[in-house]
Amino acid sequence: MSKLNASRNEDALEINVPAKAPDSINCVVVLDIKGKPDVYNAPDTD
């Protein structure tokens, strides 16, 4: 397991993932958070 770099951008959390997945079939990102998460719908990027 390796750690990913993350940063805040205003009210968003941005997680940097590698350009190439470590496993071509299945990759999982786990977030350990404290307290209740603040979840919003992601904006459209079209």
What digits encode the pLDDT tens for the residues 1-44? Answer: 778 999 999 888 899 998 988 888 998 888 888 999 888 787 78
Tokens of 23: 């496993």
10: left (phi over 0), alpha (psi -120 to 50) or beta: left
Extract the tokens encoding 19: 């350009």
Global confidence as pTM: 0.58
